[in-house]
Chains A and B, each alone.
Chain A
Amino acid sequence: EAQLVESGGGLVQPGGSLRLSCAASGFTFSRYWMSWVRQAPGKGLEWVANIKPDGSEKYYVDSLKGRFTISRDDAKNSLYLHISRLRADDTAMYYCARDWDIAIFGVVPSFDYWGQGTLVTVSS
């Protein structure tokens, strides 16, 4: 079965940077778009970014463009999110989620597998 495990979160000072990782197993990682979704404490889900297999296409939520960079290494079955110039309102649980299978046509993309999340806290 598919499994996603995030890591890299922690306490970071405002203005700092962080790289989150997501290790994938149990499925053919190189076939899937992958997404990052975050959730601030007590708030709703916010989609952050996604990336095509081989990394040739990337999309970001408009409000976060410029500070967030999504990347992947298909040889290592790994997804990454680099966040720079961290702010207090970036404090959230960050989830990676499996997105669209490019090998299957006619199926609506959905987030069918999620990791357990990694918590990022931005505070001095």
Chain B
Amino acid sequence: DIQMTQSPSSLSASVGDRVTITCRASQSISSYLNWYQQKPGKAPNLLIYGASSSQSGVPSRFSGSGSGTDFTLIISSLQPEDFATYYCQQSYSKGRTFGQGTKVESK
């Protein structure tokens, strides 16, 4: 199975901060990388697919980049509704895998 490793596991930030989350794959996955946001008690929500394409309705402050093994999710200016847990997920192999998650908390 392809392993996905996110960093950091958690971070503290303030409204207006630029937030960067990284995800590394155990082998090259081209651009087969997706990002999700999950709030407590809710199902995950797709933010970014194909490493850098924004899902419809996702605010422009969310952006993704990378290819191969190293990927980044950036929130350009953190908003109150962005405090949540973020997951990367690979779809290069039919057996999908998620990263362990990054919890974004209020400083």
Chain A positions near chain B (C-beta within 8 angstroms): 33, 35, 37, 44-47, 50, 57, 59-62, 95, 99-100, 107-112, 114-117
Contact = CB atoms under 8 A, between A and B. Distances in A.
B50 A108 contact: yes
A110 B43 contact: no
B98 A47 contact: yes
7 contacts: A44-B87, A45-B87, A45-B89, A107-B49, A110-B34, A110-B91, A114-B43
A100 B50 CA distance: 13
B96 A50 contact: yes
B80 to A, nearest CB: 23
B100 A44 contact: yes
Interface of B: 1, 31-34, 36, 38, 43-46, 49-51, 53, 55, 85, 87, 89, 91, 94-101
Nearest to B51: A108
A61 B1 contact: yes
A37 B97 CA distance: 10
A112 B46 CA distance: 6
A20 B38 CA distance: 22
Contacts of B36: 45, 111
A115 to B, nearest CB: 7
Contacts of A47: 89, 95-98
B46 A111 contact: yes
Lowest 4 A-B CB distances belong to which pairs? A108-B50, A114-B43, A110-B49, A109-B91
B19 to A, nearest CB: 18
B98 A114 contact: no
A90 to B, nearest CB: 18
B99 to A, nearest CB: 8
Given A108-B32, A111-B44, A112-B55, A50 B94 contact: yes
B91 A100 contact: yes
Contacts of B43: 95, 114-117
